[in-house]
Amino acid sequence: MGTILWLIAVIFVIAGIVTIVRGGLLYGIVLIVVGLLIGPGGVSVFT
């Protein structure tokens, strides 16, 4: 389960960075924050 959450978090952070580069600053920041929240290094919302 931890590996799956880590992969999902990485996808969210990468999508957030791509969104910021494409001009969607607010949406990109939201994606990065969500990725950090569900990642193992952050506060997981699933535990």
Q: How far apart are the C-alpha atoms of 17 and 44, rounded to whole Å?
A: 20
Domain ranges within the chain, ordered by starting residue: 2-38
3-state secondary structure of 36: helix
In this prediction the pTM is: 0.78
Q: What is the pLDDT of residues 1-47, one digit of tens each?
A: 677 888 888 899 999 999 999 999 999 999 999 888 887 666 555 55
